[in-house]
Amino acid sequence: MKDKEFVTWESIRVKGKLRFFFVNGLLAYGLPMCIITAYSNKLFENGFTLKAVLGHVTIWSMAGLMFGVVMWYITERRYKKEVTFRENSKQ
């Protein structure tokens, strides 16, 4: 992990998991994917129904949150490895 990534992750983790899940998962991944796939798959070609909207939004919201959770734990694991490495390097 590079120094810049290390410092950035320290500031992100202070803000908390839930904020990361919401901002990086739901808003930064789920929302854009929802919009892109709705238009690319022509989801609303046969009409703009409430059932289609709710189904699409639900699926991509869950996918976004899962993405956020997975990214949190992957990055947290890398961060902890880096902390251990830096502590051992000082000794």
Q: Cα–Cα distance between 9 and 12 in angstroms, integer?
A: 5
Residue that is written with structure tokens 């950035």 in the block: 8
Output the 3-class SS for the chain. Answer: CCHHHHHHHHHHHHHCHHHHHHHHHHHHHHHHHHHHHHHHCCCCCCCCCHHHHHHHHHHHHHHHHHHHHHHHHHHHHHHHHHHHHHHHHHC
pLDDT of 5 > 90? The answer is yes
pLDDT at 52: 78
**pTM of the full predicted structure?**
0.85
Q: pLDDT digit string (tens) for 31-81? A: 999 989 888 877 667 777 788 788 889 999 999 999 999 999 999 999 999
